[in-house]
Structure 1
């Protein structure tokens, strides 16, 4: 091995390679890379990283921070010290282009042109990839142009348009993100073949008055196909004027163990998209009384269980807490089972200072806004703290402080420093 001192037994490079490839995680590889330049060069090579992924499977990486998207743009908020991933997060923030300036530019138009400002906007993030879309005009908001990109490697793929024969099934779709779009595209997990080019999958959905229409795109074959979905599915017809608006249901999507979930707590219905069968179904899962959709998040529980974090609208005793449930099957069908109560350190006597922001990889992300109740900060910019709770330890861990724009959407950003990252596109 290069760098061995005189008189020392030199270990062949192929033996070192076999030893390092057996390290169980990329965090172990990072520690090995810090010991000498020879190890660093080995573990950072794409060939070695592909072998490591093939042996140990895909890994979401460490929580590096949060990516917040709003109608004004987006920003990456890296984890801050004393968080264990602070150094890696700083490296990602310095190396990546989170302005997405490497995407195809939009046409240059004049100040009075109605197309001004119709550039790329972020729609989703998963496993280091971002999904963006853009429209050619304000009226063309049902089938926007879609692109999947990797801001770290600056690679991107523009997806082909949805074929007309599939698009014909979309009838009077309802608006999302403030009416700016009438579709909800998002990234789906895709089994990674370590010996081939990176693969990804995109799901496109639209909520029509009588059904949900969904199409799936797989990068391996470059084709769109329709997904089976329930007929006569009318969400808004069952909503209460005193409950959360229907867009609160549709815009809050969660992933756990191969399925995406949308929850309608008022009617006890879950819309479920199974990414293995590529099929959408509706399930009746009665929820405890008093929860609104903004107060609930689905997470990947341990042992393949579907977990749910929830909190009350008002804490009568003044002590804030979260409730953690798992979905279990009983004689009467699936139901919520309370597993534990998670106390929170913030007093809630005169208003709840926290809100659920996101859920990913068995973790819940909380936003804390000191001095102002969380439900009063939704429509203006604010300085917040972001915290994480995972389903293994249930310990509260601070990630970072951030300046959040009004009405933004936050995702937990998991990944690796540039040294240990493979292109995701």
Structure 2
């Protein structure tokens, strides 16, 4: 009888190649994570680098779950993992335990003092990779050394220096990040034409804002070369701004990505600087914005159906009822692009004695808010503070708490999307 039962079990067992094909058809790595929890055999299959490469080649890029927030300041790098009852809390704890967010695996710096802007500092994060740059002296803070790394695998690539013939186009660049740097490098998404390659490709864009133009250079890991991008004349960034508005570097430091393009918004002059990463071209667009918004009051997000969305809030709230406004950018024939109000999102915090929240970051159709219940947000920018981080996405517009965090004065924040170490391939 036992022999017959064993034979019947063998006959009903699904062959490994069929299981493999079924798993390949799961739509995302989040689905794979749920399947991996079913049994050890499934877990071994979906964590295989070969299987994950095949899955990536078959499906669109998956940014993964929101695992928390990553902040960088002069006090160092900190990952704030999502906390229970957030559904990504367990994966976030695993990432925190496995990754090296101190980036101690990078080549040693001759001078390591991030408080003065020396040594390696974080400049950007995208798709599990971090971009850091290094200067040994503030007298030479334009053409810094750049490295792309993966804190989970502790692998890194130091980029070749920008060639002298490309450097010649940079003339009297203006400062960013509080004057510690005179360049703004960031990671850009790569196309999926070679999704079956052993390691995903990456691209880095290096920009500098000169008095009469923006200089933009691009590096691709596929050919290992830097090239110049066509750039428009950009007098508007310094010529038409009011001394009572936000400083120009506040515009330049607030960069957003949506549907293949990076955006810098100047609400005072109604001008957007746009970098199309598919054509690798810069352009200027004039999009009149509603009155009363400063640059730190707005964030561009990836809207539904390929639309460009904008979250914005007022400096003051009439009646003390805090809220966000969600717009989409629409193109009406000869009138040109404009902001169209789609909905008002009420927030649960009282704003009777000052707005308690501020926009921290935007990524993958989500907005990250920093909330301080004790002191109005605009009074907290120059001191360390204990805050709560929340997410709002453009699908549900529901407010979701991520975690509590200790934010240092003047830090820069990113929404950290990714996977648990089980499902994370080395990205460098």
Superposition TM-score, scaled by structure 1 size: 0.96
Contact 1:268 1:286 in 2 (8 A): yes
Q: 1:289 aligns with which of 288, 291, 307?
A: 291
Q: How does 1:2-401 map to 2 (within 5 A)?
A: 7-8=8-9, 9-107=12-110, 118-192=118-192, 193-196=194-197, 197-330=199-332, 331-401=334-404
Q: Distance in 1 between matches of 2:370 and 2:253?
A: 18
Q: Contact 2:357–2:369 (CA<8 Å) still a contact in 1?
A: yes
Q: Distance in 2 between matches of 1:252 and 1:49?
A: 34
On the 8 A contact 2:118/2:134 being kept in 1, the answer is yes
* 1:107 CA displacement: 2.5
* 3-state DSSP of counterpart to 2:318: coil
Q: CA RMSD in A?
A: 1.6
Choose 387-396 or 17-26, whichever is displaced more.
17-26
Query: Structure 1 residue 5: deviation in Å?
Result: 6.2
Tell me if the contact between 2:74 and 2:115 (Cα under 8 Å) persists in the aligned partners: no
| Divergent runs of 4+, >4 A | 114-117
Count matched residues: 419
Q: How big is the shift at 1:232?
A: 4.7
Alpha-carbon distance between aligned partners in 1 of 2:118 and 2:324, rounded to the nearest angstrom: 40
Distance in 2 between residues matched to 1:194 and 1:12, nearest whole Å: 27
Q: Following the alignment from structure 2 to structure 1, what is the Cα–Cα distance between the partners of residues 400 and 85?
A: 10
Distance 1:95 1:261, change over 3 A: same
1:421 to 417, 421, 424: 424
- Would the alpha carbon gap of residues 5 and 41 (structure 1) be closer, same or farther in structure 2, given more than 3 Å must change? farther
Q: 1:314 to 1:92 in 2, by over 3 A?
A: same
Tell me the CA shift for residue 194 of structure 1. Answer: 3.0
Q: Counterparts of 1:221 and 1:30 in 2: how far apart (Å)?
A: 34
Deviations 1:211-265 (A, max 9, x none): 0000000000000000001125341211111211111101000000010000000
CA distance in 1, matches of 2:277, 2:392: 26
Worse-superposed segment, 12-21 or 302-311:
12-21
Q: Secondary structure at the match of 1:40?
A: helix
After superposition, the Cα gap between the structure-2 partners of 1:416 and 1:215, relative to the gap in structure 1 and judged at 3 Å, is same
Q: Which segment drifts farther, 365-374 or 233-242?
A: 233-242
- Check the 8 A contact 1:115/1:138 in 2, yes or no: no
Q: Distance in 2 between matches of 1:40 and 1:14?
A: 15
Residues 402 and 7 of structure 1, relative CA distance in 2, 3 Å threshold: same
Say which SS state the counterpart of residue 119 (structure 2) adopts. coil
Gaps spanning 5+ residues in structure 2: where?
Answer: none
Q: Distance in 2 between matches of 1:6 and 1:156?
A: 51
Q: Write out per-residue CA displacement over residues 306-364 of structure 1, whole angstroms, 9 at most, x where no aligned residue.
A: 00000000002100000000000113100000000000000000100000000000000
1:55 Cα deviation after fit:
1.1
CA distance in 2, matches of 1:367, 1:328: 29
Please give the secondary structure, in 1, of the residue aligned with 2:92.
helix
CA–CA separation in structure 1 for the residues paired with 2:351 and 2:136: 46
Structure 1 residue ranges without an equivalent (≥5): none
Going by fraction, where is helix more abundant, 1 or 2? 2
How far did 1:43 drift? 0.5
SS of the equivalent of 1:7 reads helix
CA shift digits 1:39-83 (9 cap, x unpaired): 111010011111111111210000000000112211000000000
- Confirm or deny that 1:409 pairs with 2:412: yes
Distance 2:235 2:53 in 1: 43
